[in-house]
Amino acid sequence: MMAPFVNFVKGIATWYMTVGFVSTKNMLLLVMVVHGRSRLLLRNLPRLRLLLYGIDTNWYFDSGSTDHITNDLDRITSRERYGGQDQIHAANGKGMDISHVGKSSFHTPHRSFSFNNVLHVPSATKNLISVHQFTSDNDVYLEFHPSFFYVKDLATKNLLLQGRCHDGLYPLPHKSQVHHVTKPSTSRWHYRLGHPSPAIVSRVISQNKLDFVRDPIESVCGACQQAKSHQLPYSRSDSESSSPLQLVFSDDWGPTPMSVGHYQYNVSFIDDFSKFTWIYLLKNRSDVYQVFLNFQQLVERPFNTKIITMQTDWGGEYQKLNSFFHKVGISHHVSCPHTHQQNGSAERKHRHIVEVGLSLLAQASMPLKFWDEAFLTATYLINRTPSRVINFSTPLNQLFNENPSYSSLRVFGCACWPNLRPYNKHKLQFRSKECAFLGYSDMHKGYKCLDIATGRVYISRDVVFDENVFPFSKLHPDAGKRLQHELLLLPKHLTNCDEV
């Protein structure tokens, strides 16, 4: 496939050399083409493009630029059209219009560099990197030398990137000279696992030997701060169970704003021995009775044992269950009136689910009405996350003696492209469309993908993910403000409990 292109380039190079239209440096480059010096040629691809086609694809560091500027829209991975009247002014005073604003990135074996607030200026002649914005966004500093430059970590002083000076300019090394980073960062694993603490993320990575790139400095997760700010924890009970179902905590939660699935409540059951959690979505609080019967059949059969004790509050839905508990021989422990701390395990688990669920919503800029899918995903992740309460084992391993698989985890709410061939009505329909990832199906070995335009949810195992894009963020630029406002609607006792 490459032979015709190489022969074509050789012909062009020979002609340029014959007529003498090139400088000494470009002459050396063309000699590389003619003599097949492919390795050196790869290093000089940007110069070759400029020589043959007049296209300069380099990024250049510019200490005088206040923003990153590019004339190539394809270099911006996440973008939106610019609606302002501002212009970019060159040294000659000429104003250039701004078409789009977005983000980009550059990857090296050591870390990824972010290009925030990239301005697409079609009439710009070069792609410029603002030194001030680049160093501020990535916590690095630059050293410029007469013939080369260094990019170093601001905290550790470690060398992260180096490049050479060309014609008095300092271009970013071409990507053919730098290997792409395929390993997710520790912050990406933090997002995938449902925003647990850094210690938990590190333990999951080390115990499961997961590929990762360590973040250069420890940063604050904004989604965690939005979802997890709370009072000091209550004291914990010293009682421990020695086997599954010996003690099960339960509590209902709600009412909440109506979810997309038309739910306003949920009820959880927590096994005290393993800390494994089951959650059920409810349309009415009175459904707790039937849900418990379903839960009892679900857990007693596989473990070949009976539920011994239930710990709940004395709400009306559990008062109805009290007579059933006595009938089947289940001890029923209840907390004193207005003393929900005595049912602290269930209360803390509810807060844990709420915090993880809200973190997932905040990260994806999704409306609060998707709390039902976020809470189901949060419970799925919590059951697969190590807990210090059980000596950093996972509830899944503690209860089922099964190690969780993390290779299938993806960031909640990110863009996904499911294979829609089975759903197409004719052969000319597109094979896929951009959806939002809604979590993991409990009945299928597949992912739930929401088509935002139609509201339809597809369940598929054949899905391509883009974990850098969140479709709801493009639809709701002020979703963060609305989410903060919606959080104020939650009763205080639902957000002021201790974490499990």
Q: Residue 289's pLDDT is what?
A: 92
**pLDDT at position 336:** 63
How many Å apart are CA 369 and CA 260, to the nearest integer? Answer: 6
Q: What is the pLDDT of residue 29?
A: 47
- Average pLDDT over the chain reads 80
**Separation between Cα atoms, residue 133 and residue 398, nearest integer Å:** 48
- Res 22 pLDDT > 50: no
Flag whether pLDDT at 3 surpasses 60.
no
87 or 465: which carries more pLDDT confidence? 465
Q: What is the pLDDT of residue 180?
A: 41
Question: Choosing from 56, 62, 74, 86, which is the catalytic residue?
Answer: 62
Q: Is 272 a catalytic residue?
A: no
Please report the pLDDT score of residue 39 as a whole number.
46
**Is the preceding omega at residue 255 within 30 degrees of 0, hence cis?**
yes
In 3D, which of 45, 156, 148 has the Cα closest to residue 111? Answer: 156
pLDDT-based confidence at 476, cuts 50/70/90?
A: low
Query: By mean pLDDT, which of 207-216, 295-304, 305-314, 353-362 is the weakest?
Result: 207-216
For 171-223, the pLDDT digits (tens) are 888 754 444 445 688 888 998 999 998 889 989 999 998 888 777 556 778 88
pLDDT score recorded for residue 122: 87
Is pLDDT of 124 > 50? yes
Q: Is the pLDDT of residue 500 over 80?
A: no
Give the model confidence (pLDDT) of 374-406 as tens digits.
Answer: 999 999 999 999 999 899 999 999 999 999 999
